[in-house]
Structure 1
Amino acid sequence: MSAPPINNLSISHSSRSVTEPIEPSADLVHLSQYIANSKKFQVSGSDESEFNENLRRAVQAFEAGVFPQLIADGSSGSYFIHDVNGATLAVFKPRDEEPFADLNPKWPKFFQRILCFCCFGRACLIPNHGYLSETAASLVDSRLHFNIVPKTRIVKLMSPTFFYGRRFGKQIEARPKEGSYQMFVNDYESATAVLTRWNEIGLNNALTLPEIHEFTILFQKMCILDYVIRNTDRHMDNWLIRHVPGRELKIAAIDNGLAFPIKHPETVSVFRHFPFNWSALSWSHKPWDRELRDDLLATITPVFVDNLCKELMVLFRHDKSHSRLLTYSQMRVVRGQLWNLRHSLIANETPCDLVKRVPLLVSRRYHGAPVSENWDQCFYARTDEELSRGCC
């Protein structure tokens, strides 16, 4: 099949609800910082130069006939993006090839959808919103100043190597696909491999005392991120570690597409709770790092929560199948997670203690903007069982 004409990226616009307008604020970013422009092949923002250069190299490779490569692992259509020299630039996940989408090229999910439809999907998540979840996780990571999620934005790409289905035995003509574009991190290993190696040689032999302290902070940041976005798919193979002894220690939290539920998973099914697997590690039993704790308590104010939720709502409204009520439900969960996180930090608990807290849904008491810095004056919390109906 001949290569399609290169018109790889296109801009998309979000709609805003007339019943709940978003207050303009200098602290809030524009949608163009999340979604690539089709003419300039870039996203806006003063700190986006690295991402834009990465995307420019990808477009250059497309024009040279270097197309995405399907990743064999995983349950969805995910693709490595390479530059003209073969170096990996990013991972692209098309919306219509997500785990529960019709054009998922992986056969196991196809058979599950046909033969096991009664247990297909995750009832707490909005189907085919993984690309938004990936991008939103990058947003939350940025707002919390964690820098553990590789920068992720939404782009449109077109390639003959994407899966377009088949019709009467003939390949369907290629067309642009929208999805999440996450910058690739080099020289990282899975947490399983690294932690196993550390355990084999002994932690004190693997890490210096400063490195143990540094890793504790990085690990706790990942725990907080997962908790805030209520990640339902964090396991030992989708968080990565880069360790150069005595020189560098980093964590990368990837695969954030199954997060931002409309309800707490614990209340949806008695069989599938999607626990945080890191809570079984000994690292999760260490109290919050004091500096991290103090920084977060100073950060997560009612104004911060309000701005974060407004930014997330703008992003989620980008999808053509957007439901305002479902987005409001997602925000109740996010606020509830931040509510519990704040109380856990105040009590100087551990990440393991945090996940044992009763899941809450938190709604606003105000209209427009927070009326004070007092949480109880701005929000009220309820459990899923207590919430019959209410306004976001």
Structure 2
Amino acid sequence: MSQTDHTASPGQLVTSNTYDWLQLQEGPLRENKQYEVHHSVFKPLDRYAHLSNDPAYEQERKSKHQQTQQKFEYVVSECLDSFKTYHIELSRIKAGSSGSYFVYGRDPQLGPLGVFKPKDEEPYGPLSPKWTKWMHRTFFPCFFGRSCLIPNLGYICESAASLLDERLGLGMVPRTDTIVLESHKFYDQMQTWLFLCGMEPRLQKKLGSFQLFLNNYMDAEEFLSKYPLPGMYRDQPSLNQQLSHRLHNKDQNCSTESQDKFEWTEVNLTKFRLELEKLIILDYIMRNTDRGLDNWMVKLVPIHKKKGISWEFHLAAIDNGLTFPWKHPDEWRSYPYGWLYLPVHMLAQPFSESTRRHFLPLLTSEKWWSESYKEFTSLFSRDSDFKIRMWRKQWAVLKGQAYNVVETLRDIRQGPLELVRRTRCLVLDEKMQVPLAVPILNTAINERIPVQAGSPMNLYSSAPVVNEVAHQRDDDHKHSMPQFASKTVIIEHLQVVTNTPVLTWC
């Protein structure tokens, strides 16, 4: 049975209730109800302990989720209406290594409203329209794909990155979820034959991820080429040299540059670094194997004040399909993070106090981990090829990455460079049956004590009477003994990963 047959209608949000087959899979649903962390390796810090169970954070998160969900559903409904009513088709994006499409609303001249990535057109999918991937799959099958990733799960990983971003309260990943769309523009293996026969392309219905389109953003490569960071190139002066040059020009009143032009200052570098730290931790936790300068974006916002203009930065992480591996890369490539090639002065500094104050209360909260496991399990179980065994391995990698983040943030001297140098590890979840709380005092009070046990006359009774009394006490004890209930809890333990890839630079 094809996966699209499980959806009620095109464009419907694919949730855990959409598939009939999911109702028969009791494993993930049963684990959701039983996931309770009894012993955690994430030990909270005393000065951040009061922030772990802050109800204001949960209320703010639910409010933001409701707003973004309403906007997402509105955009999806408009895109569906534009296709059904106005027959506005999708357009394939030429860039990238997979089949991805711009989705438009009622007026295409206003630009796309979202980006749709079908499941079967992913970089390593069976219907990837890129000829480079076809050659790779056909002539070099031994080196095809990434062994640390589960095949054809990129559309779920795109949505999972959005969920992780929401759980961490970052607002960097555009709202993404899984939907089903219809179009004549989807890649079709028979499109060449249909074209030669003079036939119209077939209408196809495909399942994939839909991500809201970002306006007024530029990719990091374009932004850094337009505004290079101090010390990014050898012939570029450092920040101190630039500041000295500006002061010299100001003293001589020969500055002809407009005050509205953006320039790197100490304040702007600090603001940019704070946003970059959030992106670094997000990428590290979900172990992004494909983060470069072309798939994270920057938005520069001028703030007009009486004394002049100040600048704010907004970073966005897109193209998150090659994330959430089931094991650490341990064969040929290590897939380093693209932001590691930024100037050293941006990465060598310790994490800021605001970053530590934001992440540590969340990542050391047992409640946060329990709720996150339920939501992520519900999301990943939407896939028809979902296997709970592989999902547990993905979850162990994610928690191992988060453990390294927590240990790095604990030390005020460590920063991004120390984070990526940490030993790779897994945090494994082991199930254990523990008894529920037993009302010991009530049991002791209500327990019936035989009269014979407190009577001194029974000390001289004959043996048959003693045996009869003993048997009676045993029977009474069996009937009066309460049946203690038990529950399943999670015991976390750490496991170090020793296998390393051959190449560490790619």
TM-score normalised by L of structure 1:
0.84
**Alignment-derived partner of residue 231 in structure 1:** 288
Name which of 133, 137, 162 aligns with 1:113: 137
Query: Does the C-alpha gap of structure 1 residues 24 and 60 become closer, same or farther in structure 2, counting only changes over 3 Å?
Result: farther
Q: Distance in 2 between matches of 1:368 and 1:162?
A: 50
User: Of residues 146, 152, 169 in structure 2, which corresponds to 1:122?
Assistant: 146
Q: Which residue of 2 aligns with 1:8?
A: 10
1:50 counterpart residue number: 71
CA displacement 1:267-293 (0-9 Å, x = unmatched): 2x1x21101121232322221110120
Does the 8 Å CA contact 2:28/2:378 hold for their aligned counterparts? no
Gaps of 5+ in 2: 1-7, 36-52, 54-64, 195-199, 231-236, 244-261, 303-309, 437-489, 500-506
Indicate if the aligned counterparts of 1:164 and 1:174 stay in contact, CA closer than 8 A: no
Select the residue among 236, 256, 260 that pairs with 2:320: 256
Aligned to 1:346: 410
Give the drift of 1:379. Answer: 1.9
Residue in 2 that maps onto 1:137: 161
The code of the aligned residue for 1:217 comes to: L
Deviation, structure 1 residue 175: 2.7
Select 1:72's aligned residue among 83, 94, 104: 94
Q: Does 1:329 align with 2:329?
A: no
Contact map agreement 2:299 2:314 (CA 8 A) in 1: yes
Q: 1:210 to 1:385 in 2, by over 3 A?
A: closer
8 Å CA contact 1:16, 1:314 repeated in 2: no
- CA distance in 1 between partners of 2:83 and 2:340 (Å): 42
Paired residue secondary structure (1:158)? strand
Deviation at 1:212, TM superposition (A): 2.3
**Corresponding residue of 1:241:** 298
1:84 alignment counterpart:
106
Deviation by residue 1:67-126 (Cα, 9 ceiling, x = unmatched): 110000111100001112112101100001111111111111111100011100000000
Give the match for residue 361 of structure 2.
298
1:46 deviation in Å?
Answer: 5.5
- Separation in 2 of the partners of 1:68 and 1:19? 36
Native 8 Å contact 1:165 1:172 kept in 2: no
CA RMSD between the two structures: 2.7
2:49 is matched with none
Q: Does the CA-based 8 Å contact 1:16-1:22 persist in structure 2?
A: no
1:364 matched residue in structure 2: 429
Instruction: Call closer, same or farther: CA 1:121–1:247 in 2, change over 3 Å.
Output: same
1:153 paired residue number = 177
Call closer, same or farther: CA 1:280–1:98 in 2, change over 3 Å: same
Aligned with 2:202 (options 173, 190, 211): 173
**Whole-Å separation in 1 of the counterparts to 2:192 and 2:177:** 35
Among 244, 263, 266, the alignment partner of 1:206 is: 263
Change (3 A) 1:172 1:82: closer
Q: Which moved more, 1:57-66 or 1:277-286?
A: 277-286
Out of 171, 193, 211, the position equivalent to 1:182 is 211
Deviation of 1:16 (Å): 4.0
Alpha-carbon shift at residue 65 of structure 1 (Å): 0.9
- Aligned 1:282-297 pairs, distance under 5 A: 282=343, 283-297=346-360
Seen in structure 2, the aligned counterparts of structure 1 residues 366 and 291 have a Cα distance that, compared at 3 Å, is: farther
CA distance 1:320–1:365, change in 2 (3 Å): closer
Query: Secondary structure of the residue that 1:21 maps to in structure 2?
Result: helix
After alignment, is 316-325 or 189-198 more displaced?
189-198
Deviation, structure 1 residue 174: 2.3
Does structure 2 retain, via aligned residues, the 8 Å contact 1:360–1:384? yes
State yes or no: 1:62 paired with 2:86. Answer: no
Question: Match of 2:357, SS?
Answer: helix
Report if the CA contact (8 A) 2:349-2:415 is conserved.
yes
Name 1:219's counterpart in structure 2: 276
Q: Provide the rounded CA distance (Å) in 1 between the counterparts of 2:155 and 2:29.
A: 26
What's the secondary structure of 1:48's corresponding residue? helix
Query: Separation in 2 of the partners of 1:61 and 1:137?
Result: 28
Deviation at 1:173, TM superposition (A): 3.3
Q: Secondary structure at the match of 1:264?
A: coil
2:220/2:293 contact within 8 Å kept:
yes
Q: Please tell me whether the aligned partners of residues 179 and 207 of structure 2 are also in contact (alpha carbons under 8 angstroms).
A: yes
Count of residue correspondences: 355
Cα distance in 2 between the residues matched to 1:185 and 1:368: 48
Map of 1:17 onto structure 2:
27
Shift of 1:167: 7.7
CA distance in 2 between counterparts of 1:309 and 1:148 reads 21
Q: Which has the higher contact order (CA 8 A, sep 6+)?
A: 2
Aligned to 2:203, the other structure's residue is in SS state: coil
User: What does residue 31 of structure 1 align with?
Assistant: none
Q: Which residue in 2 is equivalent to 1:276?
A: 337
CA offsets, 1:186-223, max 9 Å, x none?
Answer: 11111112122222787666234443222111101100
Q: Secondary structure at the match of 1:177?
A: strand
> In 2, Cα distance between the equivalents of 1:157 and 1:167?
19
C-alpha contact (below 8 Å) 2:11/2:77 kept by paired residues: no
In 1, Cα distance between equivalents of 2:172 and 2:192: 45
Distance 1:304 1:368, change over 3 A: farther
Equivalent pair of 2:82/2:106 in contact (CA under 8 Å): yes
* Percent of paired sites with the same residue: 32
Q: Which moved more, 1:197-206 or 1:224-233?
A: 197-206
Larger of the two Rg values belongs to structure: 2
